[in-house]
Chain A
Amino acid sequence: MLEAREISMTKGHKPILQSIDFHLFPGECVGLIGPNGSGKSSLLKILAFLEPPTSGSLYFQSQSVPRNVPLPIRRRIALVFQEPLLLNTRVYENIAIGLKIRGLSKGRIRERVDYWLEQFGVLHLSKQSARSLSGGEAQRVSLARAFALEPDVLFLDEPFSSLDAPTKESLRINLAQVFKVTQTTTVLVSHDFKDIVHLTNRALILLNGRIVAEGSPLDLLKSPQLEEVTRFLAYFTS
């Protein structure tokens, strides 16, 4: 589905990412973990076509992606950030905007918006202003907005980290159910190993701009190959 070959990124003279090779298969959910400053967000932006890498190449559905990413390719991905980042308008409009941008008919937009609001349990908030929502509600709307686009690849950048524990737990369960049904190809960045274990099939550990370990989340936890990975995982799971 998505492939990165020898991706590197430098800011000034500082290397942020070094020789990243990454392959995302259709229908899988890959977890990306690493300490602050390890390059997770930079990698996510590159993979989501929001920033070009300094060097290396990207392939989307086996086709090379040019540096200036064409709009039709950009429109096949969706992104959810740590903050809900909703526009200052009604909840319905927030979901509908991405679909309007894609030129869908009013009927299809309504159908999709209502469906995804219902999937995330926020259909009753449809007419409310986005500003009036609680943190959990707003993040549900943000996830509904991303799924409504029916993306080929979904990127989730620490989507639960600003939520309290019970809200996080309920949203994690909700998201797992949605993944089961949609089989959406996803990259999930998280600081919580629970998210990685429950939601992903495969995890990558990023340290100092390099992928240092890869495998199923539980295998990584049981038998880390490197000492630095052991140290990181001990800290990460504590």
Chain B
Amino acid sequence: MFLYSHRRERTRMEKIWQGILAAVHLLITGDPEVIDITLLTLRISGTGTIISLLIGVPFGTLLALKPFPGRRFVLSVVNTGMGLPPVVVGLWVSIFLWRSGPFGFLNIIYTPTAIIIAQAIIASPIIAALTCAALQQTDPKLRLQIRALGATRFQYTWLLLKEVRFSLFAAIIAGFGAVVSEIGASMAVGGNIEGQTRVLTTATVLEVSKGNFDIAIALSIILCLLAYGATLGLTLLQQKQQGGP
């Protein structure tokens, strides 16, 4: 009984090891399909993050600096949105973009655009909430000082955003990290169509289901490298701006 179990464990480990070797081979030789999937993932998640930045930063700024009735309620909704399950976003975006849905006429379901929309919805609350938190933590006296410098409303907001720029970098890192690693929304609105909407996460799941562990491991390594690379780049930029070593 013990011998049988031990042998089965060894076979499994060998399979994983073979998978890693095959993955390294795929990465070194630059498999065209893997490269295409990686580039598409970068394009989709990068665009999704940029759009969420354009939505999240102004919205977070408004929440932090402009008092209005129900602001706390809106803020709690945005904070809840930070933990929005991607699969739920995928479901609702699908309903809206479905042929018979309100935006069905756009005909973008199962296209990269649909995934970008879903990913922007996932990342926007993260960036908005982190922007709001960063601005609210600034010293009220510093805000008064900026006003005393004679700043217009726009200059005041711009100077404050510049003051919290390191936190904004962190918000971008968090937003990109969330969308590049999500699968539920990409699967629901993209459909994992080969050469069109297949991104690293959906491709990994597909290869695992087919038992192609070598490709799955290669894709997962690339996904991790991509997430790490983007985060590293932003972190270096953040540290450089902060004057760190």
> Which residues of chain B (130-182) have a CB below 8 Å from chain A?
139, 141-142, 144-152, 155, 159, 162-163
A50 and B149 contact, Cβ closer than 8 Å, known pairs A88-B163, A97-B159? no
* Inter-subunit contact A78/B148 (CB<8 Å): yes
Interface-forming stretch among A21-29, A69-77, A193-201? A69-77
Contacts of A89 in B (CB 8 A): 162
A101 and B147 contact, Cβ closer than 8 Å, known pairs A85-B139, A87-B162, A88-B163? no
* Inter-subunit contact B145/A81 (CB<8 Å): yes
* Inter-subunit contact B141/A98 (CB<8 Å): no
Complex: how many Å from CA A193 to CA B151? Answer: 33
Contacts of A98 in B (CB 8 A): 149-150
Say how far B29's CB is from chain A's closest CB, in angstroms.
47
* Inter-subunit contact B142/A85 (CB<8 Å): yes
Complex: how many Å from CA A87 to CA B165? Answer: 12
Number of B residues contacting the other chain (C-beta, 8 Å)? 17
Question: A102 at the A/B interface (Cβ < 8 Å)?
Answer: yes
Complex: how many Å from CA A85 to CA B159? Answer: 13
Counting contact residues on chain A (CB < 8 A from B), the size range is: 20 to 34
A75 and B150 contact, Cβ closer than 8 Å, known pairs A88-B163, A97-B159? yes
Given A50-B148, A81-B141, A85-B145, 19 further pairs, Cβ under 8 A: A45-B144, A48-B148, A71-B152, A75-B150, A77-B148, A78-B148, A79-B145, A85-B139, A87-B146, A87-B162, A98-B149, A98-B150, A101-B150, A101-B152, A102-B150, A129-B243, A131-B243, A132-B243, A149-B149
The 10 closest A-B pairs by CB, nearest first: A75-B150, A79-B148, A85-B145, A98-B149, A129-B243, A85-B142, A74-B150, A101-B151, A101-B150, A101-B155
A-contacting residues of B (Cβ < 8 Å)?
A: 139, 141-142, 144-152, 155, 159, 162-163, 243
